[in-house]
Structure 1
Amino acid sequence: MLEENLELTARLATLGENFAIPKPLFDPRSVESGGSYPDLPTRAREYLLQRIHEGPSRTVGRHTKGNVRSQYPSESLGHSTNSESYTAELPLFIRCEADSYIAAYYDQGPEVEVQGHDKNGRKRRKPYTSDAVVLTRDCIAVVQVKLLSTLQELVEKNPHDWQEHSGYYQYLPAESRFAYMGILHVVWSPPPGGEIFTQNLELFHQLPIQFSGSTHPDAAKVLSTLETMRCASISQILDACDIQDCTAIFTLIRDNVLFASLKESLLTDIHTSLVATSIQELKASLSLRESAIATGLPKEPVDAEGLAVHEDLQEALRKLAIVEANEKTRSCRRYKKQIREGAENGLTPIQSLVPRRKAKTQDDGRKKPKRPKIVLAYLKSYISGEIEYREGNDKEKRRVDDIRKLTPMAAFNEYFTDASLYHPDFAPVSRPTFIMHLNLKDPERRGRDRAGERGGNAAKEPTDVDDRAIKPSRPFECATIDHYKADIFCEAIRDTSDTYVASPWVSVMLDLATSYILALWITFSNPSKKTCAALLRLCARAHSRWPERIIVDRGSDFQSVYFQGVLANYKIRKDDRPVSDARYGAEAERFFNSMRVECLNHLPGNYVYIADNRSVSSSHQARKAELLDLRQFIIQAGQHANWSNNCKIRNDRISATIAMEQGLLRFPFSGKEIEVDNKFMVATAVDDGRYKLDRQRGLHIGDYHYTNTRLFRSIANHLDTRDDPENPYIVYAHVADEWLPCLASPNKSYSTASDAEKRYIAAKQSIPHAIKTAQANNAVIQRVLGIREAHRNTVSEYPKETMDTSADHDSTATEGDASDLFGNALLNQHGTLGCDTW
């Protein structure tokens, strides 16, 4: 089946180019009935039906490192597919969704057993799971997706299993196993530079389907303009037609009425994307177009000979002046000789006199080390973590974890002490030498050893620019959701003797293309699916749309069945960024840092660290001021978000609000339109469990009774309920085949409250949790005070003759001071956990 595999591989190399958007919905029952693929072998049909009925064979992304996991909603399949990598599997699914040659595709085919080879060339059996099962118009095939660089490494490392033929790759163990089943096996790699084409396909998926061909209201104007211009950029066409909306142009390109270079330019970059009425005119315009800046940049290292820096040119001019003055010196004769030798090689006098510099390497300089072997050997063992040093006649091996967590300066101090014990006859190396050898170690490994997975990810080398994903360029194309525990104490509740305080959580939904704050939610509760529900509702109510995709971390709130189900129901793509990688999520963190520095830093009760904290008297510190209650903090945070949207200038010299308005005028189809109706309210409510129905008072949940006149018609005594994430005085009860809104008595006053007051009422429901935390902390404080008092009594009753009065102790410290130090240390440890008594 080699020829068939290579033929299909060649066909899939152009995947997505014959796009037909939208595609009809695939019916898997045609495979079961035999209407589709009637000649399919029995084993192949069983394999395909197993994937259709049982779903993916494994959960993707659980053991990946540095990958963005995606849940891609497929219009042709009617459900979401799981992508393990943002740059490998996801482009395959997007192209399959657009290509008319592909009938259907499924992720993570059933596991099979293959016979491959280990690193020593011995045969070994191992499980194998394909990345995708693709159904074409002619056959079915399983697909393994790898990046081109990974395939080249595999061919070199394991030639028994991986082979390359005419630019196409094969995985022989899986190919032979599936050939026995009558299924083709293909290794697919995203084509180099294919990110632009994939991004344009995603844009076509987002266009409104009610317009096709020339049916858009602006299509006739665009076509008549191009009849005169023949070929022009999108911005020139918009100016000539006096319109701002690009939908008509994009629709005509999607339906092959107009033509654009989809592989070389992003359609959203309206100033550089060319559009023509025919392919010939487009090619002619591209060949005549000035592209020196775009394509003439060197990507490989360039020899520095003849390309001197400014200082070297100045030195060459100084030497040339000496030669022209014909000085009677040895240097002048040497310069003349350099000019003669350079002329033989075709160099000018200036080029001949430029100093020849050579980069220093480890092989340059002294070949024989100055330090003794025992010193260098111990230095190497210390840095590698394998440390042994003599203490009497015993040898002790240090814990590697303890050594690796030290800072460079602390590590040198410890090395100096240990080396003096290990080789007392030879001095340890100096600090610069120690730092130099320490820096030779892999920085990613050093960061991981010292600060765990997050430290290693922060220290790793940057990725190649060509391998990076394209950033969003349209509003509502992509947004991020993140949470931040504010560095401020707010008043939670006040009783006759104490004031309980807690730090609120700030949750934000932020548009990545414009940096616009789409939604903001504040509560005392830890991040949960209720917080996510509130953000989604606020965004839909304010903008009547949701982002096309939302990128989040892998917290439990974002991995909940509720959050994933809501996004899948509304066909929103969900991307999960890698765990403990500080290079992701910077957009939301930038807003949180702005809030810390520009908002919280000036509010009473904050504990934001600033550089001049030590220069502020305790009487003027923010902790000493009267606290804000949660209502006031919600108002302050909302004002800061509005200021960030309207007044903060981005890199393109406009505010986020202006960028959002201009983007929606240019791309009005961006985002997923959401209709906020009763069905939406129930769909975004959060499941709360089953509650017993009281036939006289309704559902007793928490502090309230929720009722509806139709509620008592239910035959069941226990009903499933859903909580409203915004209004605490309404729940939805499932009765028969409908959801009934059940109200509590305070709902009347809630409906007339202001927006800020409604947010405060919802956030106030999390105060009891803060009170429990405060009471627990107070119990710890009382216990510590009791320990401190008992310690005082013990010290006062202790016989003075047995007291340690050696010089190692501070002679000025009293017995009471010692007990205070003991008690205060515990108070400092437990007094500010989660919630405190102010």
Structure 2
Amino acid sequence: MERIRGEQPSRRVRSGPGNVACRYASKKMGRVIQAESHTCELPAVILWEHNQEVYEFYDQCPKIRLSYVDSNGIRRGYNTAPDYFVIAENYIGWVECKTESWLHQKIKESNVFAYNTDQKWRCPPGEAFAAGYGLNFSVWVDTSVNQIFLANVKFLSDFLDVDAPAVAPQMEAEIYDAFEGANSILLKDLIGAFDGIRSGAIYKLIADGKLFFNWEADSIAEARFTRIFRDERVMAAYSRIAATPRTAGEKLPAIRSLILDVGQKLLWDGQPWEVVNAGTESVFIKPASGPILSMPLADIQSLISDGHISGELVASVDLADEVQRRLLSASASDMSTAIARMDILKALANGMPLKSVPERTLREWKRKQAIAERELGNGVVGLISRVKDRGNRERKISDEVIQLIDTVIDEHLVGESPKSISACYSILLALSDQMGIAGPSIKTFRAEINKKKTIGDRKQAVQGDKGAYQYSEFVHWRLDNAVPVHGQRAFDIAHVDHTQMDLQLVDSVFGKSMGKPWLSIMLDAHTRMVLAFVITYERPSYRTCMMLMRDCIQRHRRVPDTIVTDKGSEFEGGFWEILLACLKVSKKTRPSAKGRYGSVIERFFGVANQQFFHQLKGNNLPLQKPRSTSPTHDPRKTAVWTLQEIAVSFEDYIENTYSRLEHSRLGVSPREAFDHSLRVTGVRHMRMITESEELAILCLPDVRGGVRRIAHGRGIKIGANFYFNPMFREAALGNTKVPVKYDPFDLGYVYAKIGKEWIRCECPESAQLVGRSETEIQLISHEARAHQGAATQRDRGNRVVHGRNLLAVDAKERLLLHQKKAAEVRAAEDALGIVNLLEGSDKEPEEQANKAANPFDVKAGERFGELK
């Protein structure tokens, strides 16, 4: 146990094609607890976190050796890392979390897990190993979780925290007075009595056990239907007598019908009765002693259905019998026809003449009605038209052909080498010809394919999991899952993702093209409200994520409980995860190639492009079809938006347009849903975050490499700027390396760690930022960082220009040198009186000089033909 408590998890859980990896910030444990599944392991972690009888729990324990005997009697063993080790009031040992569907499949393959007669799953090898240490080993099954109870725990988790402030006595009395003497009240009415102001106090009283509701049957998030009680005993009594909804799979009650026959006995209110006569409208019954009583047939049937009359006249007809089949298979027109026939027969019985219906047809209707009344207890069923049941229902093709079709489908259509339907049909005809049987038509073949294989099965065979994903089930259909996939309230679940904006930007000073910036978004899943955003030229990194979290804190003074991300490297950084853990934010990593897990935020990106970015000058739509776009309309040339202007305009779009448009899924605007959720579910002041310098430093990333050297007299250099603090004047700090954090949104300062204290270092060259607003400082810093990021490319271009100049100067120097030498030779010849007899010899030095300066003279070189 000491080893398990002292070691780190044996491995880091990862999200695969079918699971969502989670990192839960546990306050009880003071550490991050991993969960490999958000539907199996995470519920266990959440319940342990808020269970007072559970003291400690550790994830991904050190590996242990399990031994078992397989079905052939051979002893086998394997090493495994149990999911959790739990220390509780009445339990100490390992816990393995599995889904019930996986366990049912596993017991067919091995003897590691077993299912007891008391309907509990066990792991005998694990129990044997744990028994050697006097400990326990159990299996946690996902179906054992009451989903409603889990949803209520998650909803009230902030108020279940022991550090959550208690409700003031005066406020508590006001809430009790709102009951107006009643024992119970709907949660909606209780919250509405204070116009949502006291919602947080109401939830805190529920968490403290001063107000009560049925945790296992009522969802606290459904304020319209949840009833709150002042006394626990009243709540228990109400829960017992309240009508419980029928569970999934429960059979409907049987239909009791009356079969009339003279002389049959029945029991009514404990007294025996006998049927004297049974007509179509009335029934005559006689008690053991007394006069004959006449009762309408409808009243008799009502008494039988209610169970007041029993005996031989009662026949329990299950809905699964012939009555159910006929009623459920009948169309609306069939039922209308049957009712019309019943009305005609009633009119005929009342003596009304009917000339429009032949007498033979009337006799047939009466016969069918009487047979159905006698055999099934329902005359209307006999009048339902059965024309659709006529004809031969047997299959027209032989079993041999059907078996051959199945073979072709399994081996060739969805086999290892999948082929088209047309090719498979050709194979089917060839095989039929070899066997000497008549092959089916291609229409029949296609019909068989549609019966046996879905489009997803065929895509799976041809393209694999990615191709078949769009045809898979959109959600996991679990009727007992009471936890909504998008959370129960605002700030419950938020999605974080990045995209490159479909818009070209220009420099704010010279109008130079800056390319497309990156947009990072934090979106509330429950209300679709944008909680924070960041626009930057830098590719997404952990720095972007930390700045996004800081922007959310500055806007709302709180952060979401759970962050959902993809598997990008920027979401796996240590600084990002440390920040989430300190803010008590859990992280879920959605699977790869499963776009629906992030459909909420991906849909927002599409809406933002359609409504905003694609309507601006310089948008990237023309570049999607470059061949049909004229150079004059290239967005890289027509761009006019700067980073500062687009940031301001996008914020205006988020606040005043997107958030106020009615959302098709919500039925209201995101702003209305957001405000309503905060009003009903509570502002939750215990989650509020006060801005401080310590929090600001925590949100800042480290410089590349983590440390910088202090240059004496100048300070710390980052990029092209120096940052200074008076403490740097100390001689002992000269030429030492210290940890440094910087703000990507404000280049005016950095933080350096001297000893155990972070000190703020200012940049003297950032005087231009004085007097600027925070938004302006962010945008100026963004643009400056973009210019710094392009320094390498810019330096390369500058060197090319500089190199061309040096080549020209060098050529000029060689020309001047040769001219100078030629002039000296000419002067010597003149002094000696030497005359050059060769023609043109006086031009030779100059020509040689020109040739040396330009050795690649095309005119002087040999001419070749054009390259073909």
TM-score interval for Structure 1 and Structure 2 normalised by the shorter chain: 0.7 to 0.9
Question: 3-state DSSP class of the match of 1:635?
Answer: helix
Matching of residue 98 in structure 1 with residue 50 in structure 2: yes
- Could you tell me how far apart the structure 2 residues matched to 1:313 and 1:364 are? 27
How far apart in 2 are the matches of 1:58 and 1:488?
42
Deviation, structure 1 residue 357: 10
The answer as to whether partners of 1:221 and 1:241 remain within 8 angstroms in 2 is no
Aligned counterpart in structure 2 of residue 658 of structure 1, from 665, 669, 672:
672
- From the superposition, tell whether residues 157 and 762 of structure 1 become closer, same or farther in structure 2 (CA, over 3 Å): same
Of 531, 546, 553, which aligns to 1:518?
531
Within a 5 Å distance, the mapping from 1:164-243 to structure 2 comes to 164-190=116-142, 192=144, 194-207=146-159, 209=162, 215-226=168-179, 228-240=181-193
Q: Cα offset for 1:697?
A: 2.0
Partner residue in 2 for 1:345: 375
Q: 2:364 and 2:622 mapped to 1: Cα distance?
A: 62
Partner residue of 2:93 out of 141, 153, 157: 141
What is the match of residue 503 of structure 1? Answer: 516
Matched, 1:758 2:711: no
- Distance 1:431-1:275 versus aligned 2 partners, 3 A rule: same
TM superposition shift of 1:686:
0.5
Partner in structure 2 of residue 571 of structure 1: 584
Q: What secondary structure, in the 3-state scheme, does the structure 1 residue paired with 2:215 have?
A: coil
Check 1:204–1:378 CA distance in 2 against 1; reply closer, same or farther (3 A cut). closer
Counterpart of 1:200 in 2: which secondary structure?
A: helix
C-alpha separation in 2, matches of 1:242 and 1:373: 69
3-state SS, counterpart of residue 742 of structure 1? strand
* Residue aligning to 1:743: 762
Partner of 2:493: 478
Given the superposition, is the C-alpha separation of residues 288 and 369 from structure 1 closer, same or farther in structure 2, using an over 3 Å criterion?
closer
Secondary structure of 1:588's aligned partner: helix
Q: Are positions 1:70 and 2:22 aligned together?
A: yes
TM-fit CA distance, 1:418:
9.4
Kept in 2, the 8 Å contact 1:733–1:740? The answer is: yes
1:549 to 555, 562, 587: 562
Q: Which moved more, 1:604-613 or 1:263-272?
A: 604-613
Q: Secondary structure at the match of 2:23?
A: strand
**Contact 2:712–2:735 (CA under 8 A) maintained in structure 1:** no
Q: What CA distance in whole angstroms lies between the structure 1 residues aligned with 2:696 and 2:367?
A: 87
**Aligned partner of 2:489: which letter?**
R
For 2:527, the aligned partner's letter is T
| Cα distance per residue 1:89-143 (max 9 Å; x no partner) | 2222222222222221111222111113557664321112221111123552111
TM value normalised by structure 2: 0.72
Match of 1:58 among 11, 36, 56: 11
- 1:266 is paired with a residue whose SS is coil
C-alpha distance in 2, partners of 1:370/1:604?
Answer: 67
CA distance in 2, matches of 1:75, 1:600: 42
For residues 84-123 of structure 1, the aligned pairs below 5 Å read 84-118=36-70, 122-123=74-75
Secondary structure of 1:238's aligned partner = helix
8 Å contact 1:116–1:161 — kept in the other structure?
no
The aligned residue for residue 19 of structure 1 is none
- Write the letter of the residue equivalent to 1:694: A
Partner of residue 414, structure 2: 384
Contact preservation (8 Å) 1:312, 1:354:
yes
Contact 2:113 2:121 in 1 (8 A): no
Closer/same/farther in 2, CA of residues 449 and 228 from structure 1, 3 Å limit: same
Does structure 2 conserve the Cα–Cα contact (< 8 Å) formed by 1:458 and 1:582? no
Match of 2:219 among 266, 272, 296: 266
Q: Secondary structure at the match of 1:92?
A: helix
Please tell me whether the aligned partners of residues 489 and 677 of structure 2 are also in contact (alpha carbons under 8 angstroms): yes
**Is it true that 1:458 corresponds to 2:478 in the alignment?**
no
The 3-state SS of whatever aligns with 2:753 is strand
**1:564-589, Cα deviation, whole Å (9 max, x unpaired):** 11111222111222222122112211
Distance 1:605 1:336, change over 3 A: farther
What letter corresponds to residue 740 of structure 1 in structure 2?
I
Cα distance in 2, alignment partners of residues 184 and 153 from structure 1: 24
Look up the equivalent residue of 1:743 and give its one-letter code: E
C-alpha distance in structure 2 between counterparts of 1:427 and 1:797, whole Å: 64
Residue of structure 1 equivalent to 2:727: 710
Q: Is the 8 A contact 2:103 2:113 kept in 1?
A: no
Which range moved further: 228-237 or 238-247? Answer: 238-247
* Separation in structure 1 between the aligned mates of residue 614 and residue 100 of structure 2, nearest angstrom: 49
| Cα distance in 2 between the residues matched to 1:479 and 1:495 | 39
Change (3 A) 1:364 1:609: farther
Q: Taking structure 1 as reference, are residues 357 and 443 closer, same or farther at Cα in structure 2, changes over 3 Å only?
A: farther
Q: Which residue number in structure 1 is paired with residue 232 of structure 2?
A: 279
Q: Name the SS of the counterpart of 1:472 in structure 2.
A: coil
SS in 2 for 1:260: coil
Q: Which of 687, 693, 698 is 1:672 aligned to?
A: 687
The Cα RMSD (Å) is 4.3
1:729 paired with 2:753, answer no
Deviations 1:522-567 (A, max 9, x none): 1222211111011111111111111122121221111111111111
Matches within 5 A, 1:332-411: 338-346=368-376, 348-354=378-384, 365-368=395-398, 381-387=411-417, 411=420
Does 1:595 find its partner at 2:612? no
8 A contact 1:480–1:551 mirrored in 2: yes
The whole-number CA distance in structure 2 between the counterparts of 1:213 and 1:475 is 23
SS at match of 1:574: strand
Cα distance, 1:176 vs structure 2: 0.7
Q: Structure 2: how far apart are the matches of 1:133 and 1:108?
A: 8
Provide the C-alpha distance between the structure 2 equivalents of 1:365 and 1:99, rounded to a whole number of angstroms.
61
Change (3 A) 1:671 1:771: farther
Q: 1:292-347: per-residue Cα shift (whole Å, max 9, x none)?
A: xx658877798553244424324545776898868559987776654344223335
User: What SS class does the counterpart of residue 563 from structure 2 fall into?
Assistant: strand
The question of 1:537 aligning with 2:520 is answered no
TM-score (structure 1 length as normaliser): 0.74
Report the secondary structure of 2:122's partner residue: strand
Q: Which protein has the larger Cα radius of gyration, Structure 1 or Structure 2?
A: 2
In the alignment, the residues of structure 2 paired with residue 773 and residue 354 of structure 1 have an alpha-carbon distance, to the nearest angstrom, of 83
- In structure 2, the partner of 1:785 is none
Letter of the 2:722 counterpart: H
Which moved further from structure 2: 207-216 or 612-621? 612-621
Deviation at 1:250, TM superposition (A): 2.1
Given that 1:206 and 1:670 are in contact with CA atoms closer than 8 Å, whether structure 2 keeps it comes out as: no
Distance 1:371 1:625 in 2: 67
Matched-pair contact (CA < 8 Å) for 1:214–1:220: no
Q: SS of the residue aligned with 2:479?
A: helix
Kindly tell me the number of residue pairs found equivalent between the two proteins. Answer: 707
Tell me the residue number matched to 2:655.
Answer: 642
Rounded Cα–Cα distance in structure 2 between residues aligned with 1:609 and 1:427: 54
> In the aligned structure 1, how far is the partner of 2:508 from the partner of 2:193?
63
Q: CA deviation at 1:446?
A: 4.1
Residue by residue over 1:632-691, the C-alpha shift from the partner in whole angstroms, topping out at 9 and shown as x without a partner, is 332332222123554112455443223333333340216732221111111111112222
Deviation at 1:699, TM superposition (A): 1.8
CA 1:338 to 1:90, structure 2 compared with 1: closer, same or farther past 3 Å? same
Secondary structure of 1:93's match? helix
Shift of 1:513: 2.2
* Structure 1 CA distance for aligned equivalents of residues 608 and 87 of structure 2: 51
Among the aligned pairs, what percent are the same residue?
22
Structure 1 Cα separation of the partners of residues 533 and 152 of structure 2 = 31
